[in-house]
Amino acid sequence: MNHKYLTITQALDGLKKKEFTSVELTQMYLKRIKAVEPKVKSFVTVTDEEAIKGAKEADAKRAHGNNAPLLGIPLSIKDNFSTDGIRTTASSKVLDEYVAPYDATVVTKLKDAGMVMLGKTNMDAFAHGSSTETSDYGSSRNPWNTDHLPGGSSGGAAASVAADEAVAAIGSETAGSIRQPASWCGVVGLKPTYGRVSRYGVIAMGSSLDSPGPITKTVEDSALLLQVLAGKDPRDATTSPTGVPDYLKNLKGDIHGLKIGISNDYFEGVDEEVKAQVEKELKVYEQLGAKIKKIKLFHPKYAIALYTILQRAEVSSNLARLDGIRYGNDRSYFGEEAKRRIMLGTYTLSAGYYDQFYNKALKVRTVIIEDFKKAFADVDVIIGPTSPTTSLPIGATENQSMFGELADVLVEPSSIAGLCGINVPCGFSDAGLPIGMQIIGPQFAEERILNVAYKYEQETVWHERRPSL
C-alpha cells in the first residue's frame, strides 16, 4: 500500500470497505516512520512487531464482524502512558529500562476499542518543557521545518501526526502540552477538562492538572477519540461521574448566535503575525453567525507564577518514587530541568514557605477559577491564540529555564482552572510555519468546543495543507 494521507474516519471507511486491511495500513505507517523518522524523530520506541501482531488481530476481529470504534487504526502513544510489557521512559534516562507491568486506563480503553499501537512518542523528559528539548533521547523536529521545534511536551505526538507517521496520536497536557505542540505542528489538539479522561497509568507531572487527550488531523477525529477516552475511571478518584455525551452527534450543529469571548490580554505580547492571523480568522465565526464579545479576564501572566509553584511542588513529590532503588537508574540520571523543578518544588513546600507559596497559589487558583466562571456566564467559548509564537528553532530553550512557562502563557490559565480547550490550525506564517487558535470552554463543555472548532475547520483549508518531508 502506497503512502496515503488518512484521517481516522477515512481509515475506518477504507477498512470497512475492505480497500485495505489493518495489516496493510499498519505496514504503510511503519514504512512511513522508517522513511521520515530520521528527520522528524517523533518516537522513542517503535513497536513494529507488536503493531503487526495487533493489526492481524484487528483484521481477524473485523472478519468476525467486530466493529469496535478504532478497530485496526494505527496510533502513536506518548511515552508517559504506561504500556504493559513495553518500555515506558517518559523520555528520561532514569526510566531507560523501565518496562511497565500494566496499561494506563487510556491504553486499555484504546486497546478495547481496537487500536494498533505503532510506538511511544518522544516528549520533554517527564513532560517538563514545551519543546521536547529536555528529552534525554534528543529533541523531535517540526515536520514543517525540521530545523524547528515541534513544541511540547507532547512534541513527538504532534510531530507524528503532522508528519503522518500515525493516523492520530495520544498526548497529555498539564498546561499547554497538547495545545501548544498541536499549534506549532499545525494539527488539532484537544485538552479535555481535568477529570474527563483518566490519568491512571500516566506518569504524573502536575497531578492536579494532567489531562490526557487526542492529537489528530481533524476535529472529527478528535471527537471520535475523546469518545473512547472520556469517562469515570474507578482507578482514578479525580475522574468525574459527569455523563459522557455523544461527541459526534452535535459536532456539525449550527453555531448561529454563539457568543465568543475575546480578551485583549490574550493578544498582548503575541507575535504580530500570529495576532493578526487569529484576529482575521475570527471573521469566519462572524460569517457563521457567531457574536464576538470583548471580555476581561485576569492577565495570563498571573497564571505563570501560580502554575509554576503548584506544578513544581507536585513534580517534586511525584518524582520521589524514582528513588534509584527499583527502576534501574538512580537520581543522578535526572536531567537539568527535572532537577531544577524538584529543587524549586521542594523549596516551596518547605516549612516556613508553604503559606507564602503553595498555599497562596491555591488561593489564587480559586480566584482564577471564579474569573473564568464569571466570563462563561456571558460567553459560550473564549478564543485566542494558542501560543504567542510560531515554532521556534532548535536550541531556543537553551538557558531558558522558564521557556515552557512563557511558551504556554496563553494556555496556563485555562489549565489551572481545569477547563477544556482545543487548538485548531488557523493559518501559516510567512516562513510557512503553522499558526494555531484555541477555543476554550467551561468544564465538561467538550461537546461545545468540538462543535465550534469543527464549524471553523469546515470553512477553512488550513488543515488540508501538508508539510513536505
Partner 1 sequence: MPNNKLTPIIGLEVHVELKTNSKMFCSCSADYFGKEPNGHTCPVCLGLPGALPVPNKKAIDWCIKIALSLNCKINEFSKFDRKNYFYPDLSKGYQISQFDLPFGYEGYIELASGKKIGITRVHMEEDTGKLSHQDINGQRASLIDFNRSGVPLVEIVTEPDFNDALEVKEYLQKLQQIVRYLDVSNADMDKGEMRLEPNISLSTDPKKLPNYKVEVKNINSFKFVEKAINYETKRQDEILAKGETPAQETRGWDENKQKTFSQRSKEDAHDYRYFPEPDIPPIVTTKEQISTLQKEVPELPDKKVKRFEKEFGLSFYDAEILTRDKPLANFFEEAVKEGQEQKLNPKDIANFIINKKTDTSTTTPLALVKQITASKQTVAVDEKELAKIIEEVITENEKAVTDYKAGKEASLMFLLGQVMKKLARKADTNLIKDTLKKRLSYSDK
| CB closer to partner 1, 97 vs 464 | 97
* Residue-wise burial string across 70-90, b where 16 or more C-beta atoms lie within 10 A, e elsewhere: bbbbbbbbbbbbbbeebbbbb
Closest CB 109 distance from partner 1, rounded Å? 15
The verdict on 235 binding partner 1 (CB under 8 A) reads yes
Binding positions for partner 1, 336-355, rule CB under 8 A: 346, 349-351, 354
Residue among 9, 10, 207, 400 that touches partner 1 (CB under 8 A): 207
Closest CB 350 distance from partner 1, rounded Å? 6
Closest CB 248 distance from partner 1, rounded Å? 29
| Residues 292-331, mask of contacts with partner 1 (x by CB under 8 A) | ---------------------xx-xx-xxxxx-x------
| CB closer to partner 1, 91 vs 183 | 91
| CB closer to partner 1, 55 vs 204 | 204
One-letter-per-residue 3-state SS of the chain: CCCCCCCHHHHHHHHHCCCCCHHHHHHHHHHHHHHHHHHHCCEEEECHHHHHHHHHHHHHHHHCCCCCCCCCCEEEEECCECECCEECCCCCHHHCCCECCCCCHHHHHHHHCCCEEEEEECCCHHHCCCCCCCCCCCCCCECCECCECCCCCCHHHHHHHHCCCCCEEEEEECCCCCHHHHHHHCCEEEECCCCCECCCCECCCCCCCCEEEEEECCHHHHHHHHHHHECCCCCCCCCCCCCCCCCCCCCCCCCCCCEEEEEHHHCCCCCHHHHHHHHHHHHHHHHCCCEEEEECCCCHHHHHHHHHHHHHHHHHHHHHHCCCCCCCCCHHHCCHHHHHHHHHHHHHHCCCCCHHHHHHHHHHHHHHHHHHHHHHHHCCEEEEECCCCCCCECCCCCCCCCHHHHHCCCCHHHHHCCCEEEEEEEEECCCCCEEEEEEEECCCCHHHHHHHHHHHHHHCCHHHCCCCC
Residues paired with residue 211 on neighbouring β-strands, in sequence order: 173
Closest CB 42 distance from partner 1, rounded Å? 21
- Is residue 40 within 8 A of residue 159, CB to CB? The reply is yes
**Interacting span for partner 1 (CB under 8 A) from 149-157, 231-239, 261-269, 386-394:** 231-239
**Interacting span for partner 1 (CB under 8 A) from 51-59, 65-73, 199-207, 417-425:** 199-207
Binding positions for partner 1, 90-109, rule CB under 8 A: 90, 95, 98, 100-102, 104
| CB closer to partner 1, 325 vs 461 | 325
Sign of the alpha-carbon dihedral angle for 189, 195, 200, 202: positive
The verdict on 202 binding partner 1 (CB under 8 A) reads yes
The verdict on 199 binding partner 1 (CB under 8 A) reads yes
Closest CB 207 distance from partner 1, rounded Å? 4
Residue among 7, 10, 145, 208 that touches partner 1 (CB under 8 A): 208
Residue among 65, 234, 241, 257 that touches partner 1 (CB under 8 A): 234
Closest CB 371 distance from partner 1, rounded Å? 21
Binding positions for partner 1, 361-420, rule CB under 8 A: 362
Residue among 74, 114, 201, 425 that touches partner 1 (CB under 8 A): 201
| CB closer to partner 1, 47 vs 316 | 316
Grid cell in block for residue 319: 518524582
Binding positions for partner 1, 102-141, rule CB under 8 A: 102, 104
Closest CB 208 distance from partner 1, rounded Å? 4
| CB closer to partner 1, 8 vs 310 | 310
The verdict on 82 binding partner 1 (CB under 8 A) reads yes
Q: Active-site positions?
A: 78, 153, 177
Interface residue list for partner 1 (CB under 8 A)? 80-82, 88, 90, 95, 98, 100-102, 104, 199-204, 206-208, 234-238, 313-314, 316-317, 319-323, 325, 346, 349-351, 354, 358, 362
